[in-house]
Structures are given as structure tokens and as C-alpha cells.
Amino acid sequence: MNHPIVPPASTATPPTTDRERLWQALMELARLGATPKGGVNRQAMTDLDRQARDLFIAWCRAEGCQIRIDAIGNIFARRPGSDASLPVVMTGSHIDTQPTGGKYDGCFGVLAGLEVIRTLNQHAIVTRAPIEVVAWTNEEGCRFPPCMMGSGVYAGQLGLDDMLARCDDTGVSVGEALDAIGYRGSDSVVPGDVKAYFEAHIEQGPLLEDTDTTLGVVIGALGQKWFDLTLTGVEAHAGPTPMHLRKDALVGAGEIAVAVNRMATDAAPHGRGTVGVMTLHPGSRNVIPGQVQMTIDLRHLEPEALDAMVEGLRRAIDETCARHGLGAALEATADFPPEAFDEACVQAVRAGAEALGLSHMDIVSGAGHDAIFVNRVAPAAMIFVPCEGGISHNEIEYATPDDLHAGCNVLLRAILQSAEVERSGDHRKEPA
């Protein structure tokens, strides 16, 4: 077979990925764990997860990829480059879902990477650097906390032995679950040879749709500080106790919730503040609440601003307790620093969107992603596409084929910019 000569990467016009092929792969994967409402329940290290992993590996082997699986079950599918000594260009995400998950969260990033490889093979394009698609283990963390487990172990942010010992609600450990599905690997995969990592993902928020923008160039991820707060007052009868003599823990909790909202609003555009859980004691309709337990979630892109929000929270608690005669116990439960993605990788995404004439905007991820852990050991960036209504972690989660295709084409260009086109030639191999 004669193949066209492919110009150098600086002058070549990259091919276009196959919109229908990408969509069909997403729909086929979504059959594994399909729910009656149109979503997917395919939690990490279940038999459905095994089936999804088997399918992904079969697809990758059909494209001539070399498969490696590490001790936490991460799957690495490598398309060789012409120079094996060069660092790899990596892309990926996850294929596990929430119990009431959708078809696109995570899965789009993995299958977009596969579609890039299929497109390069279809057009006989050889890159100088190898390209690797990764399916990270247990990104969601719903069965086995914490989330982003596989990428966290890979990046050295989470301990392998500790993660393998983590158990689900039935007492099954991660190690036992990986053994049960046959995915506790033995390959040693370290992040020392990664040139760039790109992760394509649905936005999981409403900004792109609200601004009618096709693509989000993700410049970083919000830092997160989580707290549990217990406010203690005095339970008393709702009738005989006059208002000015009450020590009502719920009134104090309400004022603190308002303060959290105000602080985040004042810290726009990147401030976030949420009281997600509030429980009352004793929980009787005619008893003044004597205790409230509540969660507080603060987020911001800038470390100084996040620290200022925490100080504002502490002041609000002290002032509220003094005003209402309450006691308070504040416990920090999570602390994730803000993450700025690699500027060169971000620019590669931006350049891809501009070359394709796509509307795009810089955007910050408010959620956690595998790219955040990878970015701590290798250059990384993310690509966002809109999702309908900003809804995710929900069975009605939806992204259009056109938007997914656009994101995949930007991913292709970003990968080629990093991996560099070498020459033409038939790169396909027989399935392993």
C-alpha cells in the first residue's frame, strides 16, 4: 500500500477524528452497567468494571497498542513512536462511574484518547514520541474512598499499600477486589518519562453552555478546604423560652451558612462556599436545637484567597458564637491546594481550539480530576466540553456528539504538537 507523505508537524494539517466512531464507542461502553433511566452504574472494581476494562484493552490491542497494568490496576495502552527514547505523551481519564452516573464523565477522556490513536493509525501517521492512553483506577471513590486513587498512587500522592488495604462497606479491600477481577497488575509504571498529559472531560458545570462556548481551556483547578463544624447551644422548650434567652444552635448555623455564601461571592470569580450537610439535635419540632453538625466546603484558585476565606470562616464562627452564647468545634477534613496546569500544555490546547476556529474560553475546574495528581509529577492540562445543564454525576448527564467531536479534535492537535509527526507509514500491528 502506498501512503501519502506527511509533512513535519509544524506544517502538517492534522486529520479529523471520526465523530461517529467516537460516539459509537461511548454508547457501546455505556451498555456495561446501563440503568433504566439512561445512565450507568459501573463502580470501580466490580465485575462490570472488569468487562469495561476488557473491552478497552481489546480495542487498544486491535490498534497495535502495548498494554501495561500497574499494582493499583491503572491500564496504560501505548502506541509506539519512532524514537523509543523520547518521553511519552499521555492522555486518559477513567471508566468507573458513580452509582447513578452518566455515559460521559471520565469515559469521554479515555475513548477520546483511543479515537486519537485510531485516527493516527487510519491515516498512517507516525509520531516521534510514543502516545499512551490511560484508564485510571477508581477516580470516583464512591465504593472505595478516596477519589482519584489510581492517579494518586501513580503520582506518589497516595500510598500503594494504604490504598490496597482500603475497604468498601462490605469489608472487601481494594487489593481483594482487584484480584477478583484480575486487574492487580505487576508492571512498574513511573511518571519520570512523561512529556505531557492531556485529559479531555465534560465540564460538569454550566459555564460553557451558559456562554455558548464550545471548548474550555482549563488553566487550573480550585484548591479545596473542607471542615466539619459542631455548634453547641442549649436545648429548651420552644414555648416557655423567650427569644432573647435562647442559645439556639440552628440560628448560629444559619448565620454561618450565610457568611460562607457571602465570603465566596465576595471572592468572585473563583470563590466557592458550600454548606452541604446540616444535622440537628434533638430534632424535635417543639425543642430549640441544642446542637448542629454541619459541613463546610471552601474553594478558590488562589492560595492566598483560599487562606483568607478560611480566616473569614473562623471569624464568622467566633462572632456568631459570642452573639448567641454557643460553643464551637471546627475540624479540618480535607486540604487540596490550588493547582495551576502547565502553561505549555495549556497553550497547546488553546492553539488547537484556535486552529479549528472553535469558540473557547479559559476556565477553572471546580472538581477533582486525575490530571490534578498527574500535574504534580508531569506537565498536564485539561480540555472541557459542555454538558447539558451543567449536570453530571447524574443519569441524565449529556454531551452532544458535535461537542465531543470538537474536544477530541483539539486533543488530537495538542497530542501531535507534543509528540511530533515523524513520517508516514503503516503503523498498525496485529492484535496481541
Q: What is the DSSP string of 190-253?
A: -GGGEEEEEEEEE-SSSHHHHTT-SEEEEEEE-EEEEEEEEEE---EETTTS-GGG---HHHHH
CA 306-308-312 angle, 5° bins: 115
Same domain, 104 and 206: yes
Same domain, 377 and 322: no
Q: What is the pLDDT of residue 423?
A: 59
Same domain, 44 and 117: yes
Confidence of residue 424 (pLDDT cuts 50, 70, 90): low
**Residue 177: all three cell numbers together:** 477486589
Same domain, 140 and 263: no
Q: Are 386 and 214 in contact (CB under 8 A)?
A: yes
| β-strands 75-79, 236-237 pairing | unpaired
Q: What is the pLDDT averaged over residues 388-407?
A: 96
Same domain, 217 and 81: yes
Residue where a domain terminates, one of 336, 359, 374: 336
CATH of the domain at 318: 3.30.70.360
Q: What is the pLDDT of residue 13?
A: 84
Average pLDDT, the chain: 94
Question: Does the residue 397 lie in any domain?
Answer: yes
Question: Does the residue 13 lie in any domain?
Answer: no
Confidence of residue 2 (pLDDT cuts 50, 70, 90): very low
Question: Does the residue 361 lie in any domain?
Answer: yes
Q: What is the pLDDT of residues 287-325, one digit of tens each?
A: 999 999 999 999 999 999 999 999 999 999 999 999 999
Confidence of residue 334 (pLDDT cuts 50, 70, 90): confident
Same domain, 304 and 367: no
Q: Are 201 and 106 in contact (CB under 8 A)?
A: yes
CB atoms within 10 A of CB 128: 16
Residue where a domain terminates, one of 336, 351, 368: 336
| Closest C-alpha to 103, from 393, 318, 347, 369 | 393
Q: What is the pLDDT averaged over residues 173-197?
A: 96
Residue where a domain terminates, one of 296, 315, 336: 336
Question: Does the residue 7 lie in any domain?
Answer: no
Question: Does the residue 126 lie in any domain?
Answer: yes
Same domain, 195 and 317: no
Q: What is the pLDDT of residue 422?
A: 82
Question: Does the residue 6 lie in any domain?
Answer: no
Question: Does the residue 12 lie in any domain?
Answer: no
Q: What is the pLDDT of residue 12?
A: 58
Domain of 304, in residue numbers: 223-336
pTM for this predicted structure: 0.86
Same domain, 199 and 295: no
**Residue 108: all three cell numbers together:** 469521554
Q: What is the pLDDT averaged over residues 360-368?
A: 93
Same domain, 186 and 247: no
Q: What is the pLDDT of residue 11?
A: 38
Same domain, 290 and 204: no
Q: What is the pLDDT of residues 101-120, one digit of tens each?
A: 999 999 999 999 999 999 99
CATH of the domain at 186: 3.40.630.10
Q: What is the pLDDT of residue 10?
A: 41
Same domain, 249 and 384: no
Same domain, 368 and 323: no
DSSP 25: H
How many domains, the chain?
2
Q: What is the pLDDT averaged over residues 59-80?
A: 98
Question: Does the residue 3 lie in any domain?
Answer: no
